[in-house]
Amino acid sequence: MKELKEYIRSIPDFPEKGIIFRDVTSVLQDADALKLSIDELAKRLEGVDFDVIAGAESRGFIFGAPLAYVMHKPFVPIRKKGKLPCETVEKTYDLEYGTATIEMHKDAVKKGEKVVLLDDLIATGGTMKAAAELVEELGGEVVKMLFLIELSDLNGREVLKDYDVDSVVQFEGK
């Protein structure tokens, strides 16, 4: 079987010239790659004491829900503003060009629960930092942040330096 990095498609000059887009759809379209990605994420949670997995919209759902299934843990979606039907907490954070707002249901994380945050990719760390602040606002504790892909040159780990951050595959460059 190939290594996971070999399944990730690299698309030059997308969304703009000079950027290499790391595409996880090629992982999703291959049963071996998808299984390998979930298995590799699960390995990184061995020995971690946690109660719930929370994933950021939308690719954090794609990898977080099957990982929660494998680990026999509940899954909490972290959504874009306006997508959740019950009472929420929200956090606005900066993007390269503008801002974004994410939300969680107020009852999604209970006081004292230990949470693993998951997304497909860490770049600048802004989304996960905001997600961690939501968990903490609800009284939860972020015990690990987990990513399938890390773009190491964008220094997301520095933004998340107060957390235990792990990634399966690392790429240099933008």
Domain membership of residue 115 (yes or no) is yes
Q: Which residues of the chain have pLDDT under 50?
A: none
Closest CA to 147 of 25, 24, 9, 7: 24
Rounded to whole angstroms, the Cα distance separating 95 from 39 reads 31
Domain residues for the domain of 68 are: 2-169
Does residue 79 carry a catalytic annotation? no
Does residue 59 carry a catalytic annotation? yes
Among the listed residues 16, 46, 87, 96, the single catalytic one is: 96
Among the listed residues 59, 103, 113, 150, the single catalytic one is: 59
Task: Give residue 142's pLDDT.
Answer: 98
Rounded to whole angstroms, the Cα distance separating 166 from 117 reads 11
Domain membership of residue 174 (yes or no) is no
Domain membership of residue 16 (yes or no) is yes
Number of domains forming the structure of the chain: 1
Task: Give residue 33's pLDDT.
Answer: 97
